[in-house]
């Protein structure tokens, strides 16, 4: 029953992805690459101070990667970069099977945990999250008016 609910949440995000495209004038631009399949996913982020004011994703990949990216954008908008960084770690821990993670804090993101049963798909689920992690680390100190270019980083899953 719960599995069906999770599947529905993931399928909903895949069929009707939220925040697809590119934000205007991004402060952070970060890309993830899954070498197993070559799929790429890019996140663009607008900051307001250290708050994630806008975030969109673009790129191609399987249903899990696209749904996970869509869920990520919904969840981290409005968070501080540090809070988003903590969330990234929680999602990754959950996908590793950690029992330490407070699933209530994850909300709908808990739906991704079914992916643990398909180890080869874990990289699909973490693609956007790892891209966000690297983008946060590289862009945390960027300031919107510091220069014409946003920070651009590329993360390759290993």
CB of 95 closer than 8 Å to CB of 126: yes
Q: How far is the CB of 130 from ligand FES (least distance, A)?
A: 12
Q: 27 or 39, CB closer to ligand FES?
A: 39
| CA triple 137-125-54, angle to 5 deg | 50
The side-by-side arrangement of strands in the sheet containing 51-59 is 51-59, 39-48, 28-34, 151-156
Binding residues (CB under 6 A) for ligand FES: these are: 34, 37, 39, 61-62, 64-65, 124, 127
Q: 81 or 134, CB closer to ligand FES?
A: 134
Q: How far is the CB of 32 from ligand FES (least distance, A)?
A: 9
Q: 52 or 122, CB closer to ligand FES?
A: 122
Q: What is the 3-state secondary structure (H, E, C) of 111-145?
A: HHHHHHHCHHHHHHHHHHHHHHHHHHHHHCCCCCC
Q: How far is the CB of 95 from ligand FES (least distance, A)?
A: 13
CB of 70 closer than 8 Å to CB of 78: no
Q: How far is the CB of 33 from ligand FES (least distance, A)?
A: 9
Q: 34 or 130, CB closer to ligand FES?
A: 34
């Amino acid at each position: 029953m719960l599995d069906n609910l999770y599947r529905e949440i993931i399928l909903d995000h895949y069929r009707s992805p939220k925040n697809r495209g590119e934000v205007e004038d991004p402060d952070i631009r970060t890309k993830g690459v899954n070498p197993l399949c070559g799929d790429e996913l890019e996140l663009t982020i607008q900051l307001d101070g250290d708050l994630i004011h806008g975030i969109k994703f673009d790129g191609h990949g399987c249903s899990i990667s696209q749904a996970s990216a869509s869920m990520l954008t919904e969840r981290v908008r409005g968070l501080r970069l540090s809070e988003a960084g903590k969330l990234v770690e929680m999602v990754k821990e959950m996908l590793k099977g950690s029992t330490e993670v407070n699933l209530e804090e994850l909300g709908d993101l808990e739906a991704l945990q079914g992916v643990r049963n398909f180890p080869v798909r874990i990289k699909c689920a973490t693609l956007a999250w790892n891209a966000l992690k690297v983008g946060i680390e590289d862009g945390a100190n960027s300031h919107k008016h510091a220069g014409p270019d946003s920070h651009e980083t590329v993360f390759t899953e290993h």
